[in-house]
Amino acid sequence: MQLLAAGAYSLGHGGNDAQKTIGIFWMLLTATGYAAAGDKSPPTWTIITCYLAIGAGTMFGGWRIVKTMGQRITKLKPVGGFCAEAGGAVTLFLASALGIPVSTTHTMTGAIVGVGSVQRASAVRWGVAETIVWAWILTIPASGLVASLAYWLSNQLF
């Protein structure tokens, strides 16, 4: 059952996170004139590239995240892993069906903390959870700073 839930969660991951990336690329292609504003869908190569990139990122860099989520926040047994993955999958499918962009990492973290909390509150390593939340909070201004530096640099060079 855990493998089925993990498969469903993975499908939800591609259906939600990859869609956000495809949308950003499509917007950039439209803004730069490489795609027409009236197109009904992005170019096929964009879709394939985004799915391959998210799959490769999960395959090569996802193990560290999986280890943190499944071992450092709380110790998950197979039944807990099933519950977290199934809950995350349902959340992702619902969000995707409603057109709501969500983060799969946020979804899974919430599900794992929920599973750990059901066991007992002390089963969750709240310090690890707090570090993750701070990383999420700091990502937005850090991304803005990097984008503004890149913009400034490109104006200086070109």
Domain assignments of the chain as residue spans, ordered by start: 2-123, 125-158
How far CA 68 is from CA of 4, 76, 90, 124, in Å, comes to: 21, 11, 22, 12
pLDDT at 15: 82
pLDDT at 28: 92
pTM, whole model, 2 decimals? 0.74
- Dihedral Cα 14, 19, 25, 30, nearest 10 deg: 150
For range 132-139, the mean pLDDT: 89
- What is the pLDDT confidence band of residue 26, given thresholds at 50, 70 and 90? very high
* CB contact at 8 A, 13 and 90: no
* CB contact at 8 A, 28 and 41: no
Whether residue 127 has pLDDT greater than 80? yes
pLDDT digits (tens, 9 = 90+) for 81-101: 899 999 999 999 999 899 888
Whether residue 62 has pLDDT greater than 80? no
Q: What percent of the chain has pLDDT over 70?
A: 100
* CB contact at 8 A, 101 and 95: yes
Decide which of 105 and 98 is more confident: 98
Classify residue 107 as exposed, middle or buried by CB count within 10 Å of its CB (0-12, 13-18, 19+): buried
